[in-house]
Structure 1
């Protein structure tokens, strides 16, 4: 059939009917638009943040094929000289990293990454790091005492706002344990993306950082056609030196935020998923109200296929309009989100990698086309079941006013079977770091819960009091006859409610567990650390003179100390926290059972280290540190570590010092005497003990706890909005379904009025039916939500982020959610019944004749 005929049918047959349902059709359009908009915004923001981070990572690896690093410590410059003699190496790029502190345009300190490179090799290996010059003459790349800043660093200095860049910069850094100030000349800029970065010549960097003869990494570019892995295997590297391909290094960096991005992307689809059930309800009710017209069209010669095509065309048009509106709204939300929250929506997952840089929004055609097609697919899928029913439409029966049940009845075993399958899927291990089994389990639980709604409605019907009254009899029989219809009516709100319950329980459990963890990990009143950072943002030791003066000052009743540094375990870098551990291990945030004590020094590994190295309590490990013999230790237990997703371990400070003879202190934990002076005055006295007070960072335990919880709330702020949108769409869906069903029963109400029913009794009956269905949806949503929250708490979070937590159910919020569903159902039914049982209800009986 030519397209012009379809357009004519849509204008003459569909448009008049859809215009009478403009309210429900508008809700369906908005549901698709909101779902597509949220998915588009999150995808564009995620891709922008990751693209900025990838650009920064590629700038370091450049065109190198291999990258050499040390598991602990630094590389010897002699290795560079030996590699330069190999015939299969085309170019070598030495690199040395450090950190300095610089004051921004507002006088606030910020961390600047220092990168020492061979300026003469940049064009071959790392062209993204090459300085950019605007004048006629290029700068002298090998001059002493100069550096080149990237756009993020210049932005912090105010240069991007039209301010003139300072000719000289004063940097604060720590060299061989001593803080010092250095003045360098700003010679130009580089185009490198990412966090604030300064590029220096390798010789200048070695002298500046006090590390002659040392390198942090070596980039190798091989002759064309050589296999990097084969070359790496034949390098005969010294012990503790690792070789990996540049692609592997970039991929490992991107995996740091992979779980967060995937989880947020799945969460952003929640509104579209819930909206799909609303669209399904709208399509179903639209077809149900037009059954006589569609049956008449069949009698007049329109085939079942053509009638199905007509309904599908309506769904296609609705999906197309919703997708276009959603794409436009999503692009606007993405631009606003990048400007206000950055490339990780304020969660801090990429903040350290991007250093506050705002990624630029890009609009790739293929991803936008795929996102737009989601709305089309949702609308067409939602119309599939009503369209399938049209092909089985008994036209004669419908035209006689006897109705038609064209929807298939689900087998009774389907609901319990899908619920059981969901439980089994949750037992699957992660695949490539993604909890795919958990996602499949939650989807199976959702569909299983939907399939079990008729049985739940029938069970609630049996609990109704068996009064010998017409009203009670009608309510029970209606619930019995329409149990299958309850699934279609409650699908949207059930899915939205269950996901909202699951998110409430998961977020509440996480926040409560984080609060408990902070109390265990912050046992002191005041914490002191060095404001200067190492190359990888590790804490540098505090000046020994400052520590001695603090101990002699008497300002603290007791001072505990901690040493933080990186060491190697099984060839993998691991962050070590050596601190004074309590005698009572119950005061540590441990999870799982403890191993029996052995003669070896005990350590406690975090969950990321346990999962990455596949450790169990009781295992023996060898700790490796540059310049020290390896130390055999026993894995005593596993501790919760919400501050990082990378491997880390706890060890007693005395055990570490006996092994390493390292007496440096990274952090001090001060226990203040009762009735100590006010915290601000005390902090001023503590800073006065340092030679450079600005190099010392002080924070009270309450301040750290408050900051951590604020960061948590900001990280999950987006999930609250997504959850609210999904729940709102679900409530609109149940309201639209209830009102449409009530209005479709006008002839039934007219007949009951003819038989002597009072209008007040009719309204009570409709409200009671709605409350029965609403109670079924609320109970099913609550139970499903608790089941899904168990998957989130005990499967998804441990597999995605290596964070376990204790289950916490926020009863008050859940009660408010249940009440909102019942209230929306009751008010909608009362309003619709009042309209349907109006003065013209008696006349509606004539429609059958």
Structure 2
């Protein structure tokens, strides 16, 4: 009966009021729609991208029980396959080779093509997606043994699309793993296969061994065991050759999920920022609605409606806004996600993820979560207005004696929350054994405490502003100043609620503006230090070295020609590789090291490098992953045929290019360790008078094939890096703009609510002789004081939040440190925009409040 009565009263009383206030209610509805849409769209994009990558990885990984790999440069010995075939516990043993080739698309542009060599007879049951299919019927072709022909190559849909789908032959440029020399090969294009992901070509393993320069060698062997055989026990019982590992297949989807977890969590929280800020706009609109209908609520109370029923009507109004806004937000978010999947590739700055994805099924669980979140925040935002209506002194309001003051917060709560936020920000990151390792939960909790503490501290800040106002010469003799002072002192609690939305949106906007600006400035400085040369070149081809895919060595003849070229003033060789440290693999950079030019994140070790050890410089990600510090020693392994090397951590440097960690060492030490004089990257300083375009053309002419080289000048690399940075943070900028807009609407609605609720007060002032212009000046002074406090508090709180983002969240999430830089011009524009919006909205509302209707409202009490 209670619900039925509430719905009837809602239809008779609340619905007409909602129609009369459609404009303001539309603002609250828009805030919920945008908040839910942004959060849901980001979730759909991230989950779809991860699912796409996982699907592509699974189609290549197949369904083996155990995968055998080797740390040796040329992989596994082929004789190991015969031993596995003779094992009665092995049902299938499928050999495989991996490599990279250079091909040309239908426009003649070079592109990378992944090569997989396999045995169709042994691997068909383990890798069904690699089987050649009939293009029209998606079934086995008329000649299913075409995959055994060494002259036939099978392409996946991505590769077919690059070639236009009409080519019958394909020329490939491949670097051989044993010598590094590039050779050209031509294949007939046979039936395609359905492996997902980037362009991929499959060929018979015998042809792959010849093409890749791995005769008698394999990169991996996928093993399917007989029924009932335990994979772990079987692998442990075998005697594998040195450097051979036997383990279950890697879950590439889970690995990428862990790598990108921090990015996705940060982006998801940022997308929910708009919904969090929108809840304050809902609060402002509901407060305005309650303030305008106070006499109606009081009359209903006198006529017998209980406080609980009045509060229930307010909550039903909020539920209608939240429910409708959530439904519309989910629809908009779904549409935005579909558009982004087609237009942007859904990677949102994650370079690991491919483009061209689509999603056809609505994730109902996520839709329910975000829809429920929008509804819950709407109800929470209406809780305080509902409580005000519930405790409304009906008789007092009907007599025009006010509605009583709302609940106030104790003055000690704000500082306590701010101190709690500071303490949480100083906590260490969660241990690696935790499910959410890499996500700075304490830092997020610290930011929430700081936001709530900032809101709770507004009354104290407002009183401090009053103290400054009283100190102005002649302020005590001005009636307007006295009225402003009295109003601000008595209604400090209402001020904190009015400023809550703009304080949150402004502080978060300041924090993101400072963090992104600091990151951009630090990245610019890092690029200047890491790119001192004019040109950078490397081979376009790649070779497989154990489990690592590396840039192919540059031919000695090319290097000799480069040294004697008239366009080159000087050049500096370097070598990139992969190294194993602490059971993990990291990128290895070997080049001439100038400690003065390194972007150090930690001071150099004070001790000299011990005898028998090699100085190395580790990135921040590697430092955090292995818990190393300067002065520590660590064992390094490159490949099984090489002895381990003892490295001495000489320094820690910033590396914005690799989130997974990297180690830097002198090239001479690398060459002494590996006895390998080959290089695969070169830094070039041009001779005086040489332009970059002319030099690149001249250097390409020195190569056997022009497409074998990748060249870029330092300015081009800087521009590309900054474009990637801006694209990665483009979503952040838009989310920040939406949140700030919602916050500005929130302060406008709050100011309107306060002004309209004081209509009788203004009428009384007009009766007492204050002019209409005087009332407007009074409102302007009050609003200026309130917005000034809000802007200064938002600036201070935003700077505190930016410090948490820069010095806590980024190092714990991405293992990147940066220097804080304050973009004062942008911050000034931001503060002036919010200040002007607050003052103008108050003045516009005051024009109505100070009209003749305000004078007439006083007569209602007679």
Q: Give the Cα–Cα distance (whole angstroms) in 2 for the partners of residues 75 and 613 of structure 1.
A: 29
Aligned counterpart in structure 2 of residue 183 of structure 1, from 182, 186, 192: 186
- What is the correspondence of 1:602-617 to structure 2 with a 5 Å cutoff? 602-617=615-630
CA RMSD, aligned part only?
2.0
Change beyond 3 A, Cα 1:143–1:729: same
SS at match of 2:673: helix
Deviates more, 1:143-152 or 1:125-134: 125-134
- Displacement after TM superposition at 1:442 (Å): 1.2
1:660 aligns with 2:669: no
1:314 aligns with 2:327: no
Q: Is the 8 A contact 1:54 1:254 kept in 2?
A: no
- Displacement after TM superposition at 1:837 (Å): 1.3
Deviates more, 1:249-258 or 1:217-226: 217-226
Aligned counterpart in structure 2 of residue 153 of structure 1, from 148, 152, 159: 159
Deviates more, 1:9-18 or 1:267-276: 9-18
Match of residue 276 from structure 2: 273
Match of residue 566 from structure 2: 554
Match of residue 639 from structure 1: 653
Aligned counterpart in structure 2 of residue 328 of structure 1, from 314, 321, 331: 331
Match of residue 433 from structure 2: none
- Displacement after TM superposition at 1:278 (Å): 0.8
- Displacement after TM superposition at 1:202 (Å): 2.3
Match of residue 528 from structure 1: 537
Match of residue 296 from structure 2: 293
- Displacement after TM superposition at 1:648 (Å): 1.2
- What is the correspondence of 1:126-525 to structure 2 with a 5 Å cutoff? 126-133=127-134, 134=136, 137-140=142-145, 141-159=147-165, 164=166, 166-175=167-176, 176-224=179-227, 228-246=231-249, 248-345=251-348, 347-351=349-353, 354=354, 356-405=355-404, 407-426=406-425, 427-430=427-430, 431-464=436-469, 465=472, 466-525=475-534
Change beyond 3 A, Cα 1:737–1:623: same
* TM-score (norm. length: structure 1): 0.95
Deviates more, 1:146-155 or 1:240-249: 240-249
- Following TM superposition, the consecutive aligned residue runs of length 4 or more in structure 1 with deviations greater than 6 angstroms are none
Q: Give the Cα–Cα distance (whole angstroms) in 2 for the partners of residues 659 and 303 of structure 1.
A: 85
Q: Give the Cα–Cα distance (whole angstroms) in 1 for the partners of residues 19 and 456 of structure 2.
A: 32
Q: Is the 8 A contact 1:48 1:362 kept in 2?
A: no
Change beyond 3 A, Cα 1:672–1:840: same
Match of residue 110 from structure 2: 109
Give per-residue Cα distances to partners, 1:103-130, cap 9 Å, x unaligned.
1122111111111223223343222332
Q: Count the aligned residue pairs.
A: 837
Q: Give the Cα–Cα distance (whole angstroms) in 1 for the partners of residues 224 and 312 of structure 2.
A: 60
SS at match of 1:651: strand
- Displacement after TM superposition at 1:649 (Å): 0.7
Q: Give the Cα–Cα distance (whole angstroms) in 2 for the partners of residues 364 and 603 of structure 1.
A: 48
Q: Give the Cα–Cα distance (whole angstroms) in 2 for the partners of residues 667 and 18 of structure 1.
A: 68
Q: Give the Cα–Cα distance (whole angstroms) in 1 for the partners of residues 182 and 247 of structure 2.
A: 34
Change beyond 3 A, Cα 1:235–1:806: farther
Match of residue 597 from structure 1: 608
Give per-residue Cα distances to partners, 1:625-670, cap 9 Å, x unaligned.
3222212120111111111111211101111112212111111111
Q: Give the Cα–Cα distance (whole angstroms) in 1 for the partners of residues 283 and 428 of structure 2.
A: 32
Deviates more, 1:513-522 or 1:403-412: 403-412
- Displacement after TM superposition at 1:87 (Å): 4.4
Give per-residue Cα distances to partners, 1:781-812, cap 9 Å, x unaligned.
11111111111111111111111111111111
Change beyond 3 A, Cα 1:77–1:413: farther
Q: Is the 8 A contact 1:69 1:75 kept in 2?
A: yes
SS at match of 1:805: coil
Q: Which runs of 5+ in 2 are unaligned?
A: 431-435
Q: Is the 8 A contact 1:460 1:772 kept in 2?
A: yes
Q: Give the Cα–Cα distance (whole angstroms) in 1 for the partners of residues 88 and 420 of structure 2.
A: 58
Q: Give the Cα–Cα distance (whole angstroms) in 2 for the partners of residues 618 and 399 of structure 1.
A: 78
Give per-residue Cα distances to partners, 1:700-747, cap 9 Å, x unaligned.
111111111111111111111100000000001101111221122121
Q: Give the Cα–Cα distance (whole angstroms) in 2 for the partners of residues 121 and 168 of structure 1.
A: 26
SS at match of 1:534: strand
Deviates more, 1:110-119 or 1:283-292: 283-292
Q: Give the Cα–Cα distance (whole angstroms) in 2 for the partners of residues 211 and 610 of structure 1.
A: 36
Q: Is the 8 A contact 1:44 1:362 kept in 2?
A: no
Match of residue 58 from structure 1: 58
Q: Is the 8 A contact 1:71 1:572 kept in 2?
A: no
Q: Give the Cα–Cα distance (whole angstroms) in 1 for the partners of residues 499 and 149 of structure 2.
A: 73
Give per-residue Cα distances to partners, 1:1-40, cap 9 Å, x unaligned.
2765444322210022222322221100000001111112
- Displacement after TM superposition at 1:234 (Å): 3.9
1:563 aligns with 2:569: no
Q: Give the Cα–Cα distance (whole angstroms) in 1 for the partners of residues 6 and 156 of structure 2.
A: 58
* TM-score (norm. length: structure 2): 0.94
Q: Give the Cα–Cα distance (whole angstroms) in 2 for the partners of residues 82 and 406 of structure 1.
A: 85
Q: Is the 8 A contact 2:537 2:681 kept in 1?
A: yes
- Displacement after TM superposition at 1:299 (Å): 2.7
- Displacement after TM superposition at 1:543 (Å): 1.4
Give per-residue Cα distances to partners, 1:644-698, cap 9 Å, x unaligned.
111211101111112212111111111123x322221121111111121121111
Give per-residue Cα distances to partners, 1:525-555, cap 9 Å, x unaligned.
1111111123555321111111111101232
- What is the correspondence of 1:70-109 to structure 2 with a 5 Å cutoff? 70-71=70-71, 73=73, 74-109=75-110
Q: Is the 8 A contact 2:810 2:816 kept in 1?
A: yes
Give per-residue Cα distances to partners, 1:363-394, cap 9 Å, x unaligned.
22222222222221111111122223333333
Q: Is the 8 A contact 2:104 2:110 kept in 1?
A: yes
Deviates more, 1:606-615 or 1:502-511: 606-615
SS at match of 1:635: strand
Deviates more, 1:56-65 or 1:262-271: 56-65
Q: Is the 8 A contact 2:133 2:194 kept in 1?
A: yes
Q: Give the Cα–Cα distance (whole angstroms) in 2 for the partners of residues 138 and 374 of structure 1.
A: 56
Aligned counterpart in structure 2 of residue 818 of structure 1, from 820, 831, 839: 831
SS at match of 2:629: coil
Q: Is the 8 A contact 1:502 1:786 kept in 2?
A: yes
SS at match of 2:822: coil
Q: Is the 8 A contact 2:619 2:662 kept in 1?
A: yes
Q: Which runs of 5+ in 1 are unaligned?
A: none
Change beyond 3 A, Cα 1:452–1:80: farther
Change beyond 3 A, Cα 1:67–1:422: farther
Q: Give the Cα–Cα distance (whole angstroms) in 2 for the partners of residues 286 and 632 of structure 1.
A: 72
Match of residue 48 from structure 1: 48
Aligned counterpart in structure 2 of residue 762 of structure 1, from 768, 775, 787: 775
Q: Is the 8 A contact 1:267 1:719 kept in 2?
A: yes
- Displacement after TM superposition at 1:145 (Å): 2.0
Match of residue 735 from structure 1: 748
1:842 aligns with 2:855: yes
Deviates more, 1:384-393 or 1:683-692: 384-393
1:621 aligns with 2:634: yes
Change beyond 3 A, Cα 1:840–1:364: closer
Q: Give the Cα–Cα distance (whole angstroms) in 1 for the partners of residues 232 and 812 of structure 2.
A: 30
- Displacement after TM superposition at 1:608 (Å): 1.5
SS at match of 1:332: helix
SS at match of 1:379: helix
Q: Give the Cα–Cα distance (whole angstroms) in 2 for the partners of residues 839 and 407 of structure 1.
A: 29
SS at match of 2:804: helix
Deviates more, 1:247-256 or 1:415-424: 247-256
